């Protein structure tokens, strides 16, 4: 025992030494407000310019961030417009809006940062630099494109954007030519810059966009240089980034199914598979590549896939918005969106398949003004709206998923995908520095993270699915439909983490001791400790380490309540009629 304690002390000292050079992971403040017009969605809060102007932005995308300026709403009669705050470029002493000539005055119709999910129409954009503050850290020469005029194009018309986008990588400097025969000019990207300043442990981030429905909440979690382990449930899939700049989070989606965790099924079958390729022979069993797309709202899938998913849902297709509206009068609506019924998304990880379940609660979203005049519950599936757009999964899906990345600095990086928990989760962050190895979660019991938020349906005599491929119903204590063949990312992580794990356990134990003294006692984490009756334990050997203690490295989260104000109360618009 004495020997073990000594070893722990030595490991702890070693870890403190190796850490001393950089700050802890940095939590980016989640917004106090939630946003529509197709949410509710939460965002992050940052300060831009000098004196600081506060803006809420959706985290996501790479290279220059996208900032809406205060000219945005002058030429639209649509309201709300720019409800996340608009940047007044005239009132920042530190702005540099002259050095970068690249892309100056750009106009057009483009997919911009959305991977083709959304079609955006804009004019007179330019790329500028200014100081950015987030959670008390300054990013000098922050790279951003400003948009004085930008609209999102739906089949039935153009609507103003509400929020810009805070990009999260992939390198330290974005370099632009400043003009002919003039040297390059550098603008900073957030995690790379903060890591280069040793303000955070590494150029990396971990993100769960959170869940902010009326009935249940789990705040957005964005950490730079680390991640919140409580936002990961079960195995983590680790894979290489793709795309021209090796910065896209692309993974093969093999199938989509419907399942019921426990109780009766609202459908005439207990589970269903094969929805991805249903009625579409050009989608093979290899699936389709999809990109994680946190700055766009919906599921952007083949139209045939959307049609297959909604086949047994009480919805009506709305061609003007290219979305499905829930028929709320239909008794099936409530049964589906309150029971333990979920969509399962099956991905091909490098060492096995990863299943992420998204309960239908997450797809009871609401369209609001300016998209529709009365709040309208809708189901968020549509094909990419831009010609040649990629299939992608936006915030609607990412309510159920954790994503993260360790940026390599150059070339291909590793990015991470895992199941995120439901609202029955302690909101105290358990932050861990991101190293070059796969992150590790706290829990393996997904159904438990939804306990108390589901209304199971009475068991009926519904039997297996006539004429459809079927799988056994999942048990409430396991990660449903999780293939047991391997732990995605785990094998790689297992080797690389071996040494690190001992250190982390040591920290965990030390922190646990400190926590006990302070009387800290996270609610949702506790039931899993020492869970030897958890039949899935062998499957996730690495996650076991986290059952021995909790990490609390990092900065405290903001505990502000999320206010739901009508979006247009935030900032009065000087509106003039569009000609
Ligand atoms: C910002 O950019 C200017 C001009 O390129 C440079 O002189 C300055 O050092 C940069 N600031 C930081 C903190 O990198
Ligand atoms: C700009 O950034 C690149 C890449 O980080 C770096 O190699 C170069 O030295 C920087 N240029 C200036 C003028 O600082
Ligand atoms: C990034 O560019 C700045 C100048 O804007 C320079 O001082 C810094 O060294 C560059 N960082 C790297 C890692 O190249
Ligand atoms: C069928 O899938 C292909 C390949 O993804 C896609 O291009 C096509 O639009 C889909 N067809 C329908 C009707 O959605
Ligand atoms: C997509 O599917 C809906 C029915 O689910 C259909 O009404 C619509 O025309 C289809 N859109 C495209 C672009 O094929
Ligand atoms: C669906 O969402 C709306 C808006 O948040 C909410 O008022 C309603 O209660 C939800 N419906 C169900 C059945 O949970």
Q: What is the pTM of this model?
A: 0.82
Ligand 5 pocket, residue 124 CB under 6 Å: no
Closest ligand 4 atom number to CA of residue 306: 14
- Which ligand 5 atom is nearest residue 383's CA? 13
**CB 74 near ligand 4, within 6 Å:** no
pLDDT tens-digit map of 179-193 = 777 789 999 999 999
pLDDT score of 112: 77
Q: Which atom of ligand 6 is nearest to the CA of 366?
A: 4
Residues 6+ apart with CB under 8 A from 160: 72, 73, 76, 78, 80, 81, 82, 150, 151, 152, 370
Each residue of 153-170: pLDDT tens digit? 999 999 999 999 999 999
CA distances from 331 to 278, 306, 313, 367, 379 (A): 26, 22, 11, 21, 16
Lowest mean pLDDT segment, chosen from 263-272, 368-377, 462-471: 462-471
325 close to ligand 5 (CB < 6 Angstrom): no
Q: How far apart are CA 403 and CA 209, in angstroms?
A: 9
Distance 121 CA to ligand 3 centre (A): 33
**Which residues' Cβ are closer than 6 Å to ligand 3?**
141, 172-173, 186, 196
Question: What is the Å distance from ligand 5's center to 309 Cα?
Answer: 13
Do the beta carbons of residue 544 and residue 504 sit within 8 Å?
A: no
Q: Does residue 515 carry a pLDDT above 80?
A: no
**Cross-sheet strand order for the sheet of 315-318:** 315-318, 323-326, 376-379, 365-367
Q: Is the CB of 330 under 6 A from ligand 6?
A: no
Dihedral sign for Cα atoms in the order 383, 385, 390, 394: negative
Instruction: Give the span between the Cα atoms of 221 and 441, in whole angstroms.
Output: 14
Q: List b or e across 120-132, with b for residues whose CB sees 16 or more CB atoms inside 10 angstroms.
A: bebeebbbbbbbb
Determine which residue's CA is closest to atom 7 belonging to ligand 3. 186
Left (φ > 0), alpha (ψ -120 to 50) or beta: where does 570 sit? alpha
- Give how far Cα 228 sits from Cα of 63, 171, 211, 577, Å: 24, 22, 15, 46
Residues 509, 204, 147, CA angle at the centre, nearest 5°? 140
**Cα(328) to centroid of ligand 6, in Å?**
9
Indicate if ligand 5 lies below 6 Å from the C-beta of 307. Answer: yes
- Residue 186 Cα, ligand 3 centroid: separation in angstroms? 7
User: Alpha-carbon distance 189 to 245, whole Å?
Assistant: 14
46, 165 in Cβ contact below 8 A?
no
| pLDDT band for position 507 (cuts 50, 70, 90) | very low
* Closest ligand to the CA of 310: 5
pLDDT in tens, 430-472: 999 999 899 999 999 999 999 999 999 999 755 544 334 334 3
Q: How far is the CA of 303 from the centre of ligand 5 (A)?
A: 6
* Sequence-separated (6 or more) residues with CB below 8 Å from residue 517: none
What SS3 state is found at 7? Answer: helix
The percent of residues above 90 in pLDDT, for the chain, comes to 69
């Amino acid at each position: 025992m004495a020997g073990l304690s000594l070893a722990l002390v030595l490991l702890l000292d070693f870890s403190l030494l190796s850490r001393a050079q950089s700050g802890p992971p940095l939590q980016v403040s989640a917004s106090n407000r939630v946003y529509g017009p197709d949410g509710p969605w939460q965002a992050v809060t940052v300060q831009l310019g000098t004196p600081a102007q506060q803006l809420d932005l959706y985290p996501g995308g790479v290279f220059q961030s996208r900032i809406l300026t205060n000219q945005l709403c002058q030429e639209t009669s649509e309201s709300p417009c720019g409800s996340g705050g608009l940047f007044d470029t005239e009132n920042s002493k530190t702005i540099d809006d002259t050095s970068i000539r690249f892309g100056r005055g750009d106009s057009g119709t483009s997919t911009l940062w959305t991977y083709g999910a959304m079609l955006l129409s804009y004019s007179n954009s330019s790329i500028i630099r200014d100081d950015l503050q987030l959670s008390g850290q300054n990013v000098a020469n922050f790279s951003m494109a400003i948009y004085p005029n930008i609209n999102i194009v739906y089949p039935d018309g153009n609507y103003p954007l509400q929020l810009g986008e805070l990009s999260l990588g992939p390198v330290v400097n974005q370099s632009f030519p400043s003009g002919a025969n003039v040297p390059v000019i550098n603008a900073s990207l957030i995690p790379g810059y903060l890591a280069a300043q040793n303000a955070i442990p590494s150029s990396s981030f971990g993100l769960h966009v959170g869940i902010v429905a009326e009935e249940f909440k789990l705040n957005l979690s964005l950490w730079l240089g680390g991640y919140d382990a409580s936002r990961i449930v079960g195995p983590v899939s680790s894979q290489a980034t793709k795309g021209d700049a090796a910065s896209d989070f692309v993974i093969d989606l093999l199938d989509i199914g419907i399942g019921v965790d426990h109780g009766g099924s609202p459908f005439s079958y207990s589970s269903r598979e094969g929805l991805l390729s249903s009625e579409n022979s050009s989608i093979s069993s290899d699936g389709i590549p999809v990109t994680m797309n946190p700055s766009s709202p919906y599921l952007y899938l083949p139209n045939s896939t959307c049609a297959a998913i909604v086949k047994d849902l009480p919805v009506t297709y709305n061609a003007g918005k290219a979305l499905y509206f829930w028929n709320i009068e239909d008794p099936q609506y409530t049964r589906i969106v309150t029971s333990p019924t979920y969509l399962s998304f099956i991905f091909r990880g490098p060492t096995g398949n990863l299943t992420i379940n998204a309960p239908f609660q997450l797809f009871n979203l609401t369209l609001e003004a300016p998209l529709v005049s009365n709040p309208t519950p809708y189901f968020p599936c549509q094909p990419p709206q831009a010609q040649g757009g990629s299939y992608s999964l936006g915030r609607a899906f990412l309510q159920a998923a954790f994503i993260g990345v360790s940026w390599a600095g150059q070339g291909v990086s590793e990015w991470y995908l895992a199941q995120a928990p439901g609202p029955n989760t302690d909101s105290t962050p358990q932050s861990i520095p991101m190293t070059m190895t796969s992150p590790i979660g706290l829990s393996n019991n997904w159904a438990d993270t939804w306990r108390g938020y589901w209304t199971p349906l009475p068991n009926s005599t519904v039997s297996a699915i006539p004429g459809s491929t079927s799988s056994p119903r999942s048990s409430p204590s396991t990660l449903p439909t999780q293939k047991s063949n391997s732990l995605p990312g785990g094998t790689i992580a297992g080797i690389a983490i071996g040494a690190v794990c001992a250190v982390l356990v040591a920290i965990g134990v030390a922190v646990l001791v400190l926590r006990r003294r302070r009387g800290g006692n996270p609610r949702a984490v506790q039931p899993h400790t020492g869970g030897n009756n958890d039949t899935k334990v062998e499957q996730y050997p690495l996650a076991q380490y986290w059952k021995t203690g909790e990490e609390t490295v990092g900065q405290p989260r903001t505990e502000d309540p999320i206010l739901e104000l009508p979006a247009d109360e935030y900032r009065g618009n000087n509106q003039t009629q569009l000609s």
